[in-house]
Amino acid sequence: MNTERHQITVRGLVVDVVRKNIKHLHLAVYPPAGRIRVAVPLRVNDEAVRLAVITRLAWINRHRRKFAGQERQSVREYISGESHYFQGRRYRLNVVYQDGPAHVAIRNNGAIDLFVRQGSDTSQRERVLRAWYRRQLKALIPPLIAKWKSAIAVEVAEWGVKQMKTKWGVCNIRAHRIWLNLELAKRPIQCLEYVIVHELVHLLERLHSERFMELMDKFMPHWRLRREELNRSALGHETWDY
């Protein structure tokens, strides 16, 4: 498909313009930095894009301010009383200083107990919790990959989890390898599943083309809702494209 990308600057804001074979103009603001992206039909020129952005400046700035606020909230100290998310649910963190090995336990009443050694500092506490998220996520992924690689009829040679700043998932098409963002452990499992499907569909279609959307519609009819949920603001500073 014929897709062309470039950037323009409107009133000091950098705007990513994607020109492709679509009927309507779509404008979006993405966290964390408030990146502005406009997808426009092929026939719409930059002057028209500029005008569209200017008429929506109030909306754009409202979203950018919202993301900036979330960025501030997202600083974590890993102390008792903080909210932390796991599989889309909010938990109250309860830090327990003790002498045994560090570990994490989740309680039904909505608390995550973080057991650390006496004198552990913020980065040590963060490391223990992050390792726990990683183990939880790594346990959730294999059944989902197994389910979807046969549904989509693709091969996955390798997968992994890593902390990424700007992407929920990455697909290396030639190596049939996918990477999933560690942050997905904090989101509902439906969101994790959506990202897995998205990355596996890339094995059939490299670009976010119309064909890609059609394949997504076919395999996961409600994928747009899941994407929305994934990018919803509640959990803080992560987001993203993929």
CA-CA distance, 114 to 111, in Å (whole number)? 9
Rounded least distance, CB 206 to Zn ion, Å = 9
Phi, psi of 174 (to 5 degrees): -65, -40
Does 223 sit near Zn ion (CB under 5 A)? no
Could you tell me how far CA 100 lies from the centroid of its own chain? 35
Contact present, 116 and 131 (Cβ < 8 Å)? no
Rounded least distance, CB 215 to Zn ion, Å = 11
Does 240 sit near Zn ion (CB under 5 A)? no
Does 179 sit near Zn ion (CB under 5 A)? no
Rounded least distance, CB 194 to Zn ion, Å = 11
Kindly give the interhelix angle for 210-219 and 122-152, rounded to the nearest 10 degrees. Answer: 90
Mask of contacts with Zn ion, 183-222, x by CB under 5 A? ----------------------------------------
The number of CA neighbours under 13 Å toward the Cβ of 165 is 2
Does 86 sit near Zn ion (CB under 5 A)? no
Does 242 sit near Zn ion (CB under 5 A)? yes
Rounded least distance, CB 106 to Zn ion, Å = 31
Q: Give the pairing of strands 111-117 and 103-107.
A: antiparallel
Q: Which is nearer to Zn ion, 115 or 240 (CB)?
A: 240
Contact segment (CB under 5 A) with Zn ion among 1-9, 91-99, 111-119, 234-242 equals: 234-242
Rounded least distance, CB 164 to Zn ion, Å = 13
Rounded least distance, CB 201 to Zn ion, Å = 8
Which SS3 state, helix, strand or coil, does residue 170 take? strand
Does 91 sit near Zn ion (CB under 5 A)? no
Contacts for 139-144: CB closer than 8 Å, 24+ residues apart: 140/185, 140/189, 140/192, 141/180, 141/192, 141/196, 144/192, 144/193, 144/196
Instruction: Tell me the site size for Zn ion, rule CB under 5 A.
Output: 1
The residues of the shown chain that bind Zn ion, judged by CB under 5 A, are 242
